């Protein structure tokens, strides 16, 4: 087994320092090149905060984030991040938006022709080469999100961090974007961490799904991990995937019940009852 590209080892975060209320604690995650790890969990569980820590945008209160075996200290040119909002600048063209930031100080120094080639390749990869002279107001939501993905890929990232990137898209566009992401990860092999509310998206794209949640006030942690077997053609084993989905929903409901003290009793379930999918289920 190769070493992970991205590793969080016992990472904790409390806004306001160690005296503050913990958002999450003791989080351990590893993502290898070409892998997709999805993070699911109730709203407010700390998923976006975790992504910011893994991106080097927010220092952890304790624990260690490593990239290629080295401690991550702040933002790193090998890490690209995209959010639900594609964050495009309306006065820049598609091409300029995809190139935005490539020449920033913390980025790898590249000549102008090299940058142009990278942006051209990235727009090609997301199917937008023909639209490079358009401006954001002329783009559909799906196209705008493709530009955001191209901006990530132009950096040739070792790590791709995505925070509900397709959450605002309609179902058909979202399916297209999921196929595109799968293709990009297979071809360029970034270590990819995807935060999503869409369980089917997680089941379709992930090698592993981790559930972030925990007792309110104590900080969330990784409550469970599901492993999807890449060799099992996902479409061919709908049964196993369906059973895993049922298990995910049950655990998510359990966690959400903990998170929201006033949650409806129908969201609670018997915690003694375990649901096991042979060969696909690993303890957290
Ligand atoms: N910059 C911040 N300062 C203080 N508290 C924050 C900040 N960002 C998020 N929080 C709090 O941290 C918790 C987790 O938020 P977040 O990471 O956005 O969760 P999720 O993405 O899972 O919905 C929430 O209680 C939220 O209010
Ligand atoms: Mg969030």
At residue 106, the pLDDT reads: 80
Instruction: Give the number of whichever ligand sits closest to the CA of residue 39.
Output: 1
**What number does the ligand 1 atom closest to the CA of 45 have?**
22
CA atoms of 230 and 234, how far apart (whole Å): 8
At residue 278, the pLDDT reads: 41
Are the C-beta atoms of 76 and 56 separated by less than 8 Å?
yes
C-alpha 110 – ligand 2 centre gap (Å):
33
Q: Quick one: which H or E segment has residue 176?
A: helix 171-188
Mutational pocket test of ligand 1: of 46, 258, 260, the residue with most ligand atoms within 8 Å of the beta carbon: 46
Q: Quick one: which H or E segment has residue 200?
A: helix 199-205
Classify domain 6-78+157-282 by CATH number.
3.40.50.300
Q: Is the CB of 119 under 6 A from ligand 1?
A: no
Check: pTM over 0.85? Answer yes or no: yes
Sign of CA dihedral 254, 38, 98, 171: negative
At residue 233, the pLDDT reads: 60
Q: Is the CB of 145 under 6 A from ligand 1?
A: no
DSSP code at position 74: S
Q: Which residues of the chain have pLDDT under 50?
A: 261-284
Q: Is the CB of 41 under 6 A from ligand 1?
A: yes
C-alpha 167 – ligand 2 centre gap (Å):
11
Q: Which residues contact 191 (CB under 8 A, 6 or more apart)?
A: 4, 5, 6, 31, 32, 33, 34, 35, 158, 159, 160
At residue 16, the pLDDT reads: 85
C-alpha 233 – ligand 2 centre gap (Å):
30
At residue 103, the pLDDT reads: 84
* For the chain, domain boundaries: 6-78+157-282
What interhelical angle do 141-153 and 171-188 show, nearest 10?
Answer: 10
The angle formed by the CA atoms of residues 155, 158 and 162, to the nearest 5 degrees, is: 80
| Residue that has been written with the tokens 């904790």 in this structure | 12
C-alpha 23 – ligand 1 centre gap (Å):
7
**What number does the ligand 1 atom closest to the CA of 195 have?**
21
């Amino acid at each position: 087994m190769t070493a992970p590209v991205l590793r969080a080892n016992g990472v904790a975060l409390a806004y306001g320092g160690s005296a503050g209320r913990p958002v999450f604690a003791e989080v351990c995650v590893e993502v290898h090149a070409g892998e997709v790890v999805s993070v699911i969990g109730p709203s407010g569980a700390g998923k976006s905060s975790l992504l910011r820590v893994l991106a080097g945008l927010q220092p952890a209160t304790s624990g260690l984030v490593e990239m290629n075996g080295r401690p991550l200290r702040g933002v790193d040119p090998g890490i690209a991040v995209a959010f639900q909002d594609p964050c495009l600048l309306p006065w820049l063209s598609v091409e300029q938006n995809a190139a935005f930031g490539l020449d920033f100080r913390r980025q790898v120094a590249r000549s102008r022709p090299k940058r142009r080639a990278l942006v051209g390749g990235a727009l090609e990869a997301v199917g937008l080469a023909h639209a490079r002279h358009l401006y954001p107001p002329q783009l559909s939501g799906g196209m705008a999100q493709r530009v955001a993905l191209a901006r990530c890929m132009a950096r040739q990232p070792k790590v791709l961090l995505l925070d509900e990137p397709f959450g605002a898209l309609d179902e058909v566009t979202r399916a297209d974007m999921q196929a595109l992401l799968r293709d990009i990860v297979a071809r360029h092999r970034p270590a990819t961490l995807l935060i999503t509310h869409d369980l089917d998206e997680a089941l379709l794209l992930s090698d592993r799904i981790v559930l972030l949640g925990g007792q309110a006030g104590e900080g969330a942690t990784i409550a469970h991990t599901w492993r999807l077997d890449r060799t099992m053609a996902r479409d061919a084993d709908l049964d196993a995937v369906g059973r895993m989905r049922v298990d995910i929903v049950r655990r998510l409901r359990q966690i959400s019940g903990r998170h929201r003290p006033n949650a409806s009793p129908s969201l609670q379930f018997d915690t003694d009852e375990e649901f096991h999918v042979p060969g696909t289920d690993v303890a957290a």
